[in-house]
């Protein structure tokens, strides 16, 4: 299933360029905390990249900087050749906890971003129908979030984000709150959606198997302050499928990456204990 192109060269305007990015949290009380330290990363156009690392390593911080939700303190980030200076419709984000409007139906949630873009009503309705169909929620258009399962809510969140046609999809542990069975189904669904509607994806997760299953490359970060420890190519010849996901090659790749993450988790635990 993983059919995206090779990683972009530095400066490729069609991808993401993260250059010497550092970020420090400065609480009103207590000492500053360096979350990210000199991050450099190039992500190709329509590439699916997963970011792994121990808790507190700065994975989500990096994602929020990409989204423009926090100001850059040091370094630079460009997406599709444009410097990131704040949030924008070129970057859509999907959070772990759905972030749906509970008083809006499925259709109204998906329409929300399209209305903000000021599109004509007929075009908004057609686009919303397309993405509701894409995530297999036809028949639930008039349902409210309280009437949906966790997996269905996350499908609505994905449809709402894709409907505004972002060049880049940022996902912050989007399946972390789901049970194991629903999570597996949503992983399959995301890959299917991505193949039908390719976009650049940056996917933060704690789950090593999930990262290997979904991504073209996996970025392993160090314990805080977060640095890029290693980048592993996780593409398989012929693309991902159910048989490859059971293969020795797949399991070996998971073990290889887990060992890298485990090393950093031990460092993080030692720092906390100290």
> Which range has the worst mean pLDDT, 130-144, 190-204, 252-266?
190-204
Confidence category of residue 270, pLDDT binned at 50, 70, 90: confident
Task: Say whether pLDDT at 214 is over 90.
Answer: yes
**pLDDT computed for residue 106 by the predictor:** 97
Q: How far, in Å, CA of 262 to CA of 268, rounded? A: 10
How far apart (Å, rounded) are the C-alpha atoms in residues 85 and 49? 22
Question: Using 50, 70 and 90 to split pLDDT, how confident is the model at 186?
Answer: confident
Going by pLDDT thresholds of 50, 70 and 90, the confidence category of residue 143 is very high
Q: Are 19 and 77 in contact (CB under 8 A)?
A: yes
Average pLDDT over residues 142-171: 92
Quick one: pLDDT at residue 75? 96
Where does residue 263 fall: left (phi above 0), alpha (psi -120 to 50 degrees), or beta otherwise? Answer: alpha
pLDDT of 194 reads: 85
Q: Whole-angstrom Cα distance, residue 91 to residue 30?
A: 34
Burial readout 150-177 (b: 16 or more C-beta within 10 A, e: otherwise): bbbbbbbbbbbbbbbbbbbbbbbbbbee
Every domain range in the chain assigned CATH 3.40.50.300: 1-90+168-274
Task: Indicate if the pLDDT at residue 44 is higher than 90.
Answer: yes
Residues 6+ apart with CB under 8 A from 29: none
Print the SS3 string covering the chain. Answer: CCCCCCCCCCCCCCCEEEEEEEEEECCCCCCCEEEEEEEEEEECCCCEEEEECCCCCCHHHHHHHHHCCCCCCEEEEEECCEECCCCCCCEEEECCCCCCCCCCCHHHHHHHHHHHCCCCHHHHHHHHHHHHHHCCCCCCCCCCHHHCCHHHHHHHHHHHHHHCCCCEEEEECCCCCCCHHHHHHHHHHHHHHHHHCCCEEEEECCCHHHHHHHCCEEEEECCCCECEEEEEECCCCCCCCCCHHHCHHHHHHHHHHHHHHHHHHHHHHHHHHC
17 strand-pairing partners: 42, 78
Question: Is domain 1-90+168-274 classified as CATH 3.40.50.300?
Answer: yes
**What pLDDT is attached to residue 14?**
65
27-31, 57-61, 124-128: least confident range = 27-31
| Per-residue pLDDT at 10 exceeds 80 | no
| Confidence label for 223 from pLDDT (cuts 50, 70 and 90) | very high
| Per-residue pLDDT at 193 | 84
- Is residue 3's pLDDT more than 80? no
Report the pLDDT value the prediction gives residue 179, as an integer from 0 to 100: 86
The reported pLDDT for the residue numbered 4 is 37
Percent of the chain with pLDDT over 90: 66
Q: How far apart are CA 53 and CA 224, in angstroms?
A: 10
């Amino acid at each position: 299933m993983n059919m995206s192109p090779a990683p972009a060269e530095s400066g490729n305007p069609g991808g993401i360029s993260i250059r010497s990015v550092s970020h420090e949290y400065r609480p009103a009380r207590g000492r500053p905390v360096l979350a990210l330290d000199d991050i450099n990363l190039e992500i190709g156009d329509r590439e699916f990249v997963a970011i792994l690392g121990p808790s507190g390593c700065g994975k989500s911080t990096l994602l929020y900087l990409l989204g423009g939700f926090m100001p850059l303190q040091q370094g630079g980030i460009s997406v599709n050749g444009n410097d990131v200076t704040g949030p924008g419709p070129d970057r859509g984000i999907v959070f772990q906890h759905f972030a749906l409007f509970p008083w809006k139906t499925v259709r109204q949630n998906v329409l929300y971003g399209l209305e903000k873009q000021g599109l004509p009503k007929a075009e908004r309705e057609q686009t919303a129908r397309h993405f509701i169909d894409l995530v297999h929620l036809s028949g639930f258009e008039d349902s409210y979030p309280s009437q949906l399962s966790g997996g269905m809510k996350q499908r609505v969140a994905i449809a709402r984000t894709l409907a505004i046609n972002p060049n880049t999809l940022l996902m912050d542990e989007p399946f972390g709150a789901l049970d194991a069975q629903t999570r597996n189904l949503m992983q399959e669904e995301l890959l299917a959606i991505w193949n039908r509607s390719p976009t650049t994806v940056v996917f933060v997760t704690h789950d090593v198997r999930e990262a290997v299953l979904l991504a073209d490359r996996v970025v392993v970060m160090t314990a805080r302050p977060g640095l890029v420890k290693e980048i592993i190519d996780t593409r398989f010849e012929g693309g991902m499928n159910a048989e490859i996901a059971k293969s020795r090659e797949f399991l070996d790749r998971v073990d290889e990456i887990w060992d890298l993450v485990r090393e950093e988790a031990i460092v993080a635990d030692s720092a906390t204990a100290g």
